[in-house]
Structure 1
Amino acid sequence: MSRRSLMYKPTSLRSLEQERHQMRLAAPVLSGYLLRKEAWDRGTSSRQTVGNPPMVCQDPVVQNALYTGNVKAVKEIFSKGFPSDLFIQPQGGAMRWSASGKDAIYDTSNIEEWKNYRFNYRGLRLWSLTYEQELTTPLHITAGRGFTECLRHLLLRGARVDLAPGGTTALHEACEECQPDCVKLLLQYGANPNATNEDGQMPLHVCTELDSLECAKHLLAFDALINGQSLDDSDTPLHVVARHGLPDHVELYLRHGAVLNLQNDDGNTPLNAACSQPQDCTSLERYSRVCHMLVDAGADIHISDADKQTPLHMACKNTNPDVVALLLQYKALVNEMDYGGDAPMHNILKVVAYKTDHEPERIVQALLNYGSIRVWPGALPKVLKYCCTSPRTIEVLFNAYDRLKITEAWVEAVPPEVFQKHREFYESLFALMQTPRSLQHLARHRLRAFLEGRLHKVVPILGLPTFLKNYLMLAFRDYIH
């Protein structure tokens, strides 16, 4: 359940078996409650008007029935004549002063208190101390927890489907919690598929989980706006699912006409949003699929954000080798600078130490083969210091130079524990203090310099053995010669 409608503190949650046991023990209480409700029905039904604000209920019997999905109890409590538009608010939390009226809290099972409430609302509007907590409704509780039968009963009893006491509708709640059956039911009863919550988001904007795909399908079937923008940051639903790495959602939205190159308030397109999102190893493949879909559909890879960062800058920063290869294949500008003066090569070298599991060496290799600028030779000891935990990154980067002026400072830049872990590689590197680079390497460097910027086009069509082609493209050998 989302934080906006979570009514219980963790210490007060109980197992379902405990709740069932409590319901059995509370049977006499429930009967008494129903008698009080019946008396309330007789005493107040004739005085209700459309303008009266909804009541706020703190009765534990009602809350237990809703939060446990007890269909029988819900049907008994929310029967004919009893309002299904209650606001639910448990005891606890900070205190605040409020005038009796729409913010006042009263126990609806207490007839005298309800009468006082109606008198105060119409007349004196007295101030009193109340608990400051977010409100929810029976619809929100049942929709967010997937209690479809309870939800259906409340809707049949006339609950207002778009009521949003806490700033969010029950439809938002069901989408956020991936409850497709509840989403469909709410829409069938007239829920607005384009209602905005307190953050200016429509229900499609809160479909952010892999399991929310069916929810999104229901929303689109009921005319949800595929290109509707959120009020706070002008995100479209495509921005949102691209940012969360949801390839099936992306495919769905593209089929329904999602705009590819619309920029949000930060200047990001959906492709920028996907590339800029931090990604762990388990999600790299999902984000790669998303980017492939967007690019294949015609996304512009050259659009930069407010900081003049292109998708290539962002993919390098978040270390997704497959996305970098894709963007380079579609002619991304390998030496474009952002407002901070950083090229994509700078972005990847800054994060190598934190992203060794992401194979950053593949990105450095691809950038160099597509003509990226190299690091100033005087800065190589600093690069060695910060990237030494990824020997292959050091290998491919240093092999882009015809000669290396290695000193004792280079040896000191590698911590002893890193040196021991990758001893064979670093011994081959530091041996170059007395030994020049091999003739084979010098020939490679000369040919690469001649084909600068065209390597990726020319080398594959040369009539050379595969191992020589790989050598020219800086294939990894785990030592330097």
Structure 2
Amino acid sequence: GADVDAQDNWKETPLHLAMYSNRNDVSGFLIEHSADINCKSKDGETPLHRSIEHKNTEATKILITRHACIHSKDNFGDTPLHLACLNNNSKVARLLIDLKANVNEQNNDGTTPLHLAVLNGKYKIVVKLAENGADLSLKYRESNPPLHIACLKHYPGVALLLIDLKADVNEQNNDGATPLHLAVLENEIEIVEKLVENGADLSLLNKDHKTALDLAADQKNRKEISEYLAQKNERERRRSRSSRRRIRRRRMRNYSINYIPLRMEHHNW
């Protein structure tokens, strides 16, 4: 009989090709006749990679049921979970996470499934990844953590979620930019307010030696953000001055309580 695992010049088997055309009758037949479900093509993709790329959820579920390897990496270092997040396939992403796919696996350029979910603004996938231990601090292409990405991509819902999940609001990327710098540049007032409410440092400088308030003042159509940050900045300065005064008073009080009586005793002696 015919070899069900015969490979073409791209090392693709009939099962790989069935995934392209969404021919689930063919893929089912091949699997029933013991086709290798983990065979890799020239680019390192298994039939599971292909079924996810082509959003063939039915075939994906069949492959997983038949114990297709959910941790297999292609030549780019992408796992099936990476591809599910890249292709906005929430059902498959949730299924893979439930099956304990590594949520912090990094591909060849350091991208995690969380980076891809945030890049696509997929709130529910972000929640699922975070609930299962996704690292909020890993940087996308060695620069931007997930919160920075959400600010840059105009996804306030995802950004607010990441802040609530305790992502570092003062993390600086390779340009020295914090999430606050980026939210100001992208005119995302809701994110700006949430960051400030959760401890964003207004004094941090980017590589151009500018604070978020400086950026707001430099940009057109940032009046609302500029006024908000200026108000918060002034309030912070007052609080700082008040705190310094309290510290000075405390020191003077300690001095008068402890040091002056000692001097008097010494003098009397």
Instruction: State whether TM-score is above 0.5.
Output: yes
Contact 1:316 1:347 in 2 (8 A): yes
Contact 1:178 1:209 in 2 (8 A): no
**Within the alignment, does 1:395 sit opposite 2:224 as a pair?**
yes
Over the matched positions of the two proteins, sequence identity in percent amounts to 29
Counterpart residue type for residue 203 of structure 1:
P
Aligned residue in 2 for 1:236: 79
Q: Deviation string for 1:35-76 (max 9, x for gaps)?
A: xxxxxxxxxxxxxxxxxxxxxxxxxxxxxxxxxxxxxxxxxx
Counterpart residue type for residue 228 of structure 1:
S
Q: Distance in 1 between matches of 2:86 and 2:137?
A: 18
User: 1:243: Cα distance to partner?
Assistant: 2.0
Contact 2:180 2:195 in 1 (8 A): yes
Counterparts of residues 56-75 of structure 1 (less than 5 Å): none
Contact 1:171 1:203 in 2 (8 A): yes
Aligned residue in 1 for 2:114: 271
Aligned residue in 2 for 1:217: 61
Aligned residue in 1 for 2:137: 302
Contact 1:272 1:305 in 2 (8 A): yes
Q: Distance in 1 between matches of 2:54 and 2:44?
A: 22
Counterpart residue type for residue 300 of structure 1:
D
User: 1:448: Cα distance to partner?
Assistant: 11
Q: TM-score, normalised by structure 2?
A: 0.75
Counterpart residue type for residue 235 of structure 2:
R
The match for 1:314 among 149, 152, 165 is 149
Aligned residue in 2 for 1:446: 235
Q: Residues 376 and 237 of structure 1: is their aligned pair in 2 closer, same or farther, counting only changes over 3 Å? A: closer
Q: Distance in 2 between matches of 1:214 and 1:266?
A: 30
Contact 1:364 1:397 in 2 (8 A): no
Q: Residues 376 and 248 of structure 1: is their aligned pair in 2 closer, same or farther, counting only changes over 3 Å? A: closer
Q: Residues 271 and 334 of structure 1: is their aligned pair in 2 closer, same or farther, counting only changes over 3 Å? A: same
Gaps of 5+ in 2: 203-210, 241-269
User: Counterpart of 1:199 in 2: which secondary structure?
Assistant: coil
Counterparts of residues 287-298 of structure 1 (less than 5 Å): 287-298=122-133
**Within the alignment, does 1:380 sit opposite 2:216 as a pair?**
yes
User: Counterpart of 1:163 in 2: which secondary structure?
Assistant: coil
Q: Distance in 1 between matches of 2:100 and 2:142?
A: 28
The match for 2:71 among 221, 224, 227 is 227
User: 1:378: Cα distance to partner?
Assistant: 4.5
> Runs of at least 4 residues of structure 1 off by over 6 A?
none
Q: Larger C-alpha radius of gyration, 1 or 2?
A: 1
Gaps of 5+ in 1: 1-157, 353-359, 403-441, 452-481
Q: TM-score, normalised by structure 1?
A: 0.44
Q: Distance in 2 between matches of 1:214 and 1:394?
A: 51
Counterpart residue type for residue 190 of structure 1:
S
Q: Deviation string for 1:337-394 (max 9, x for gaps)?
A: 1122222233344445xxxxxxx3332332232232444544434322xxx3xxxx64
Q: Residues 448 and 199 of structure 1: is their aligned pair in 2 closer, same or farther, counting only changes over 3 Å? A: farther
Counterpart residue type for residue 171 of structure 1:
L
Counterpart residue type for residue 200 of structure 2:
S
Q: Residues 212 and 397 of structure 1: is their aligned pair in 2 closer, same or farther, counting only changes over 3 Å? A: farther
Contact 2:183 2:189 in 1 (8 A): no
User: 1:295: Cα distance to partner?
Assistant: 0.6
Q: Deviation string for 1:389-442 (max 9, x for gaps)?
A: xxxx6424431213xxxxxxxxxxxxxxxxxxxxxxxxxxxxxxxxxxxxxxx9
Q: How many residues align structurally?
A: 231
Contact 2:52 2:60 in 1 (8 A): no
Counterparts of residues 35-46 of structure 1 (less than 5 Å): none
Cα RMSD, aligned residues only: 2.8
Contact 1:244 1:274 in 2 (8 A): no
Q: Distance in 1 between matches of 2:201 and 2:68?
A: 47
User: 1:237: Cα distance to partner?
Assistant: 0.8
The match for 2:44 among 197, 200, 208 is 200
User: 1:266: Cα distance to partner?
Assistant: 1.5
User: 1:303: Cα distance to partner?
Assistant: 2.0
Aligned residue in 2 for 1:262: 105
User: Counterpart of 1:207 in 2: which secondary structure?
Assistant: helix
Aligned residue in 2 for 1:185: 29
Q: Deviation string for 1:1-47 (max 9, x for gaps)?
A: xxxxxxxxxxxxxxxxxxxxxxxxxxxxxxxxxxxxxxxxxxxxxxx
